[in-house]
Structure formats: C-alpha cells, structure tokens
Chain A
Amino acid sequence: MNELQNQDRELAINERAPAPVRLAPFVDVHQNQDGYLVLADLPGVTRSDIAIRLEDNELTVEATRPGRSLGGTEVPPKQYRRQFRVPEGIDATRVDARYESGVLRVTLPKAEAKKPRLIEVQ
C-alpha cells in the first residue's frame, strides 16, 4: 500500500517535470600517432550522469543535465547525445575518459601494431 502511494507520488512528479531538451554537444576531434582525442563541451553535468560506449567501432557519448525551476523561471533538463564512427584499430581496453571544468576528454589509443608471432611446429 505504502509502495503504491510512493509510486503515485513519483508519477505525479514525473508528469509535472518538463520534457528534456535534446542537444548535440559541440565536439572537437584531434589525432596524433598514438590515437585520437575527443573533446566535448558538457557544462553542468555530473560525472556519473555521463555514459560513454564504444561498440562496433561506434563511439556514443550521452549525458543528462538536470533542469532548474526558480522564482517562476524554468530551465528544462537537457539530454546531450553524440555518436561517431571511429576508425578500425582502436584499443577499446585502453579507452580513457575524464571530465573536468565542463569538458569531457576521451582518449582512444590506437592498438599496438600486431607483433610477429612465432608459431611453434608441433
């Protein structure tokens, strides 16, 4: 019963909240011999509200930013999303992401050149 009431309250809150605005953040991509550096302007988000995925050579960056309602002025929540096709040969295990001063930095290192492998003769 209590749980039901709580659910009702949550629903009421959700109904009142304005729909999030979908935005594509501004992004820079740089490269050097070691790999790629992706910078995205994501002001006002919390680290834990950023999701980065690298799947089938597609890099997806998503982040949510809470809205604000104060003194009759309402700023709706924002949903940032950007997707890129990245070149082959990225070492997915060494992808690194940092968030500082409202800017997300993702480094995508190139995989080490495949080393010649000695094949043992059985």
Chain B
Amino acid sequence: MYNHWNDIERTWAAMEALRRGMNQAFSGSESGETPRFGRLIQAAAARTPAVDIFEVEDAYLVTADLPGFKREDVELKFANDQLLISATRAAATPEGYQAVMEERGALQLSKALGFAAKIDAEHIEAKLSDGVLEVRIPKHPEAKPRQIPIHIG
C-alpha cells in the first residue's frame, strides 16, 4: 500500500523534474546563463529516496536510503498516529572544485506514515548508519497478538 503511494510520488517528482529541465533548456538556467553544451541539465526538483517498510510481530521497521545525510539533515516526529519523516540533501559542488558531471543532485524525503496497529510512541528508535536511516516503531503492548489460553471446563 505504501509502496504504491511511493510510486505515485516518484512519478510526480519525475514529471516535475522534466518540466523544470525543459524550462531551463529553453530559457537558460535560473542564474540567467545558457546551459553549456555537454553539461547535464540539472533537474531542479529533488529525487525522492527509496523507502522500505517491514512489519514484524511486535514492530514496524522503516528504512530510507539517505546517502550523504548528516543527523541534523533528518527530522523525525510522531504526531496524530503518524510518523513524519523529513530529510533534505542539497546538491553541491565541493569547495575548490569544478563540476564535470553531476547526477547525485538533491534528495528530498517528506513522508507521513500511518500504521494499522496502535503504536508505542515512547519507544520509537532511529539510527543513521552508512547512509541508511532505520526507524523501529514498536507496536503498543495491547496491539500485539496475545495468546489466549483455553480452559477445559
């Protein structure tokens, strides 16, 4: 279900990138210069990073590919039963260098995820390692499947 929405978002982002790219190609870049021949026309719209969602018995696990993001580039909130993720990486040419080829560009993730089970919001944990964000969202104890003993009467 989530993946489906992700696809729609990506399609939308791609269309937006194309539209801006065309605008730039015909009217020059935003700085007013004509884009140089042989240079990649930078898509002004950011790409959306890949997100995977897993569900296990006692928790949900959300992972997002965020290469080159620092901790302060990522914001996580849980409000109104939804996990809100927002993360942005700007496109940048390192100081003292001239760009030859730029594909990595800007990445922007802005997502609100709802869950079928009640969430134990106090115990949500997140870590960012090797450019992958991993958020563990535990289900509320009362939402976990419970073994019901059968008494013999």
A residues bordering B, Cβ < 8 Å? 26-32, 36-37, 39, 41-46, 68, 70-73, 75, 99, 101-103
Contacts and interface: CB of A to CB of B under 8 A. Distances in A.
B128 to A, nearest CB: 8
Contacts of B101: 27-29
B103 A27 contact: yes
Given A36-B100, A73-B55, 12 more contacts: A27-B103, A32-B98, A41-B65, A41-B68, A43-B67, A44-B130, A46-B130, A68-B54, A71-B57, A102-B65, A102-B68, A103-B131
Contacts of A37: 94, 97
B136 to A, nearest CB: 11
B105 A26 contact: yes
Contacts of A45: 130
Q: Contact residue range for chain B?
A: 20 to 34
Contacts of A73: 52-55
Candidate in B52, B98, B103 with the most chain A CB atoms within 10 angstroms: B103
A45 B131 CA distance: 9
15 contacts: A26-B105, A27-B104, A28-B93, A28-B102, A30-B99, A31-B100, A32-B96, A41-B68, A43-B130, A44-B132, A71-B55, A73-B52, A101-B68, A101-B70, A103-B131
A42 B53 CA distance: 20
